[in-house]
Structure 1
């Protein structure tokens, strides 16, 4: 082979390698996790090979905001169980603003002001004390969650709040994109790169689902809906059926239940659904201002476009879920499918951890795989005092 031919062959091979480079996995990927795209606050990236923004840089300005919010709090220690819901809310529910989006500790991303969030949560906490459900399935209720947060030592509080706010700051670009695509909120100039071309009439498939229906179990304990939901999500990702006790330990689950913030944190740490090629970093989102159509569009987008599950957070009431014999507490389910309007009904598919028969033998058996009215599911989510979900 001549020298000139050798050079041409080498150049050709280099071009092929460069052309294939975007298809190759990142050398630092772990257990099938897709490579993570980096997204800075000043210049977000959204390429044709990403479905969602990745984690962004936590800027010095964001860090100052984090420290401001952390410094404004205090622990109540052993007194946490003896104070009013209003005091619990005022000391524990505090909000930070990152790049124009508001995040409230323990509540998630919201469009409400800090005062509006506090008023809503204080009213819901008082209502929780008056109407504690006879049956609890494992959602950490508002009062128990606030008391747990307030009873931490000062060092635990500072470390926990700083970690939660840092994770939130890194995910703000995703929140901007979601608000833009679902609610039509205009994007600031620095996030203009997140705008997607208009669908021009393209619609999502009439039906879609992810994760095999066989990869879900009933919760082993009456307060383990959180660990069971997390078991299904991780099982759907890596096909490894780790026991519910494994997830209960990582979620910090107690007999009072699990928090949605911890479930979202574990989805980000233990699966690849948070990759930019899927949903991006999971967040807790306040949907108190969502209409049903917006919620439905977001559900279809998450399942059909991002191919990732939702952490549903409903109030488990029999008027919304006909398979129940009695009302129960706040709850977690795994959203994994939908069926568009047929015979006038839109349906959402989800994994249901709760089998009432296991804890009340006289009750009917509840199937793990459910296809139910999407509108009722939306209403159940809005009936929950926190009105949020994980996605």
Structure 2
């Protein structure tokens, strides 16, 4: 064959191969089916936002980890003095590693190590056991939280812990996305393979494309039907998040009717009263504080934050993907003030949903107090950038000290206060977590 002819044949073969390349099957992950060009490996796949991501599938690996943590709790006895409970924090506070994120029972999603979480809970329990002067408003302190766990029958404790951990596992994609969007945490290379519920729908096109043999799950897909990613699945590159920053939000915003408020009628009912106002804002109908106390499992010792989060998800629609999505208990101990404030603005403007604030109620942060109080709940519902002055946070305050001591000043339900001090009060709580 002459040299010119050989070159012509080679060029023709190369052109044919290039033309056929888009139709070559891409491996076991799609079983040889064709993919729309916008979803091929190497393309940038768009993400849903954290609130719209929907529920994650509890994988066999996550289920095995849940089984491990629950089994460890079955071995715990029911006895123990209040002073000795702090020494048992290592047994009572247990964490699960779920898809690269850490969830600790009664604490929530955290970046702290299990040892660090146990240490701060133990320290807080020792302080609470010795303290007699702090005004209690209804947060479940560390000592009482440990005592409640230790007093449960093993079967009841196992059932409660399993339910909490499985609920947490179903929200792990939201945790990843919140940290990605606000803290800039990089997503794993195979994030979309593991969490197809986080993939945004491809933009509609006038050009008809051949569908894949297996439809890509959307955020509304039932978690149990989500196909398990195979070991050979190729990761899809994720488009950088184009989330709003602080300057992108309006100067001031607020949600919830300021007339649908109530003060707590018992010293240990800040949880039920906050829940009353959150649900009132959703349904436009107010159930009694006693009703919410029963829903939350509130005792004279108070209410746990995980109960607050679970009750919002079960009893309101704020957990819809049109609003905040499933609420989670999130440790913000390593969040900066700017990141925390961005989360507040996002919740108010983008999600149009309230925040469960979980501060320590001290005079240093809240000038309307006559005495330092315990851990506490408030309903976050607004912000004001406030020009050159310090930014303000808007919230409903269930605590009115005058109700229980007429000599003390009255406290309004609707508050607009220094946002940075609210952040510091949240950080000063031994759990430094919130419900979002």
Following superposition, the deviation at residue 389 of structure 1 comes to 0.8
| Other-structure match for 1:360 | 405
| Other-structure match for 2:256 | 211
| Other-structure match for 1:72 | 72
**One of 368, 371, 380 as aligned partner of 1:323:** 368
Q: Secondary structure at the match of 1:382?
A: helix
Q: Which runs of 5+ in 2 are unaligned?
A: 1-44, 193-197, 200-239
Following superposition, the deviation at residue 386 of structure 1 comes to 1.2
Following superposition, the deviation at residue 132 of structure 1 comes to 4.2
Q: Secondary structure at the match of 2:128?
A: helix
| Other-structure match for 2:180 | 180
Given that 1:133 and 1:329 are in contact with CA atoms closer than 8 Å, whether structure 2 keeps it comes out as no
Q: How does 1:254-333 map to 2 (within 5 A)?
A: 254-333=299-378
Is the counterpart of residue 96 in structure 1 residue 96 in structure 2?
yes
| Other-structure match for 1:128 | 128
Residue-by-residue CA offset, 1:164-206 (whole Å, 9 max, x unaligned): 0000000000100110111110011343556643549970111
Given that 1:149 and 1:157 are in contact with CA atoms closer than 8 Å, whether structure 2 keeps it comes out as yes
Q: CA RMSD in A?
A: 1.9
| Other-structure match for 1:145 | 145
Distance in structure 2 (CA, Å) of the matches to 1:200 and 1:78: 50
Distance in structure 2 (CA, Å) of the matches to 1:80 and 1:183: 41
4+ residue stretches of structure 1 with deviation over 4 A?
A: 44-48, 192-195, 198-202
Given that 2:270 and 2:376 are in contact with CA atoms closer than 8 Å, whether structure 1 keeps it comes out as yes
Given that 2:85 and 2:146 are in contact with CA atoms closer than 8 Å, whether structure 1 keeps it comes out as no
Following superposition, the deviation at residue 383 of structure 1 comes to 1.2
| Other-structure match for 1:83 | 84
Following superposition, the deviation at residue 294 of structure 1 comes to 1.1
- Answer with 364-373 or 339-348: which moved more: 339-348
Residue-by-residue CA offset, 1:255-301 (whole Å, 9 max, x unaligned): 11111010100000011111112111111111111111111111111
| TM-score normalised by L of structure 2 | 0.76
Distance change (3 Å), C-alpha of 1:161 and 1:176 = same
**One of 376, 383, 390 as aligned partner of 2:428:** 383
Distance change (3 Å), C-alpha of 1:299 and 1:256 = same
Given that 1:80 and 1:150 are in contact with CA atoms closer than 8 Å, whether structure 2 keeps it comes out as no
Residue-by-residue CA offset, 1:113-143 (whole Å, 9 max, x unaligned): 1112112222222222233443111011111
Given that 1:261 and 1:284 are in contact with CA atoms closer than 8 Å, whether structure 2 keeps it comes out as yes
Is the counterpart of residue 235 in structure 1 residue 236 in structure 2?
no
Following superposition, the deviation at residue 83 of structure 1 comes to 2.1
Is the counterpart of residue 191 in structure 1 residue 227 in structure 2?
no
Distance change (3 Å), C-alpha of 1:215 and 1:322 = same
Distance change (3 Å), C-alpha of 1:390 and 1:133 = farther
Distance change (3 Å), C-alpha of 1:207 and 1:250 = same
Q: Secondary structure at the match of 2:373?
A: coil
Distance in structure 2 (CA, Å) of the matches to 1:303 and 1:329: 26
Distance in structure 2 (CA, Å) of the matches to 1:51 and 1:64: 27
**One of 378, 383, 388 as aligned partner of 1:343:** 388
Distance change (3 Å), C-alpha of 1:248 and 1:198 = closer
Given that 1:352 and 1:367 are in contact with CA atoms closer than 8 Å, whether structure 2 keeps it comes out as yes
Given that 2:85 and 2:143 are in contact with CA atoms closer than 8 Å, whether structure 1 keeps it comes out as no
Distance change (3 Å), C-alpha of 1:191 and 1:224 = same
Following superposition, the deviation at residue 47 of structure 1 comes to 4.9
Distance in structure 2 (CA, Å) of the matches to 1:54 and 1:355: 38
| Other-structure match for 2:157 | 157
| Other-structure match for 1:109 | 109
Higher Rg? 2
- Answer with 349-358 or 280-289: which moved more: 280-289
Given that 1:45 and 1:53 are in contact with CA atoms closer than 8 Å, whether structure 2 keeps it comes out as no
